[in-house]
Amino acid sequence: MPLASTDIVLFASANMPDSDGVLNGGAIDPLRRVTFTQMFANDTLRAASSSSADTTQTVTVEARDATGALVSDTKTLTGTTPVAMGFGTVERVLKGELSAACVGQITVSRVTGGQTVRAIPAGERGFMAPFRKCASDPSITRNYYAKAFLKNVNATLPLSSAWVRQSADPDSRITHLLASAVDDAATATDRQTAPAAAATLDPDTFDDNDKAVPGGILLAGSAIGVWLRLQLPGGDAAHRSTYTLQLDGVST
C-alpha cells in the first residue's frame, strides 16, 4: 500500500519567533504544525476536545481583530463542551497553543457555521503562521526567514524520487530553499538573517523552482527542512494570504 497524503505533514521548527533578534530555525518541532485553514469571514472562535478528560489544559489563541490589532486569550478546556475565546470578533488567526498535550483532539473553530481552523491531534501542542507579526519597511525591501519541515510520518514506507515544490503563492512574496541534509538542525541568527550557505542546498538560491530532496529519498520518520523567505517591498500593504508547499515522489 503506497503512502497517503496524510503521511506527509508540515511541522514547525524549534524556533519560529514572532519578533526580531531571536534565534531562528533549528531541528523539527513535531508538536506544532504550520498548516491551518484561515477564517473565511470575521467571526468569534471557540475550542473543544474530542475527549471529556481534557479539563485541566489551557488553550491560547492569538489573532488580529478587524482593525488589525493583535489580540490573545487563554481559556481552560472544558472537555467536549466548546469554550469561547474572550477576545470577540477577529479577522484572522495567527497561532494556537496548548499548555500540555491532551487526551483528545482539540478543535479550534469559528462559532458561526463551525468552520474548523485547526484540529490539533492528540499528543501535539499547537499550530502557527510562520511569518506572523512581520512588517514592511517604509522605503526599503525587507526579508524575513522561517524554517519548516516536511515529514514522512509513515512508520515503514519511504518516499523515493522526492521533490519539494511550490504549489501556491497568490501574493508572490515567498520563495523557498531546502536544507542541505535530511533531518538537519541548522539555525539562523534571527528571522531577518538568511541561513548560512553551508546549511542549505546548493546553489543556495531562494526561488520558486522545484528542488530535489538531498539523497533523493525521504525515509519513514524523516523530514526535510524547508527555509522560506518572505520578501516585502518598501511600504508594502498588509497581506492576508496563504502559501502552499508540496512534496512529490514515488511510493509503492
Q: Phi/psi at 198 (nearest 5 deg)? A: -65, -20
Q: Tell me, what's the pLDDT at 61? A: 98
55: left (phi over 0), alpha (psi -120 to 50) or beta: alpha
Q: Tell me, what's the pLDDT at 50? A: 98
Q: pTM (2 decimals)?
A: 0.96
Q: Tell me, what's the pLDDT at 240? A: 87
Regions of the chain where pLDDT drops below 50: none
> What would the pLDDT profile of 120-153 be if each residue is shown by its tens digit?
999 999 999 999 999 999 999 999 999 999 999 9
Q: Tell me, what's the pLDDT at 1? A: 67
Q: Which amino acid does the sequence have at 87?
A: F
**Distance between CA 183 and CA 245 in Å, rounded?**
18
Residues 228, 207: contact at Cβ < 8 Å?
A: no
Q: Tell me, what's the pLDDT at 252? A: 79
| E strand residue ranges, 179-216 | 187-188, 211-212
Strand partners, 71: 63
Q: Residue written as cell 550557505? A: 197
Distances (CA, A) of 191 to 29, 143, 188, 217, 224: 17, 8, 7, 29, 19
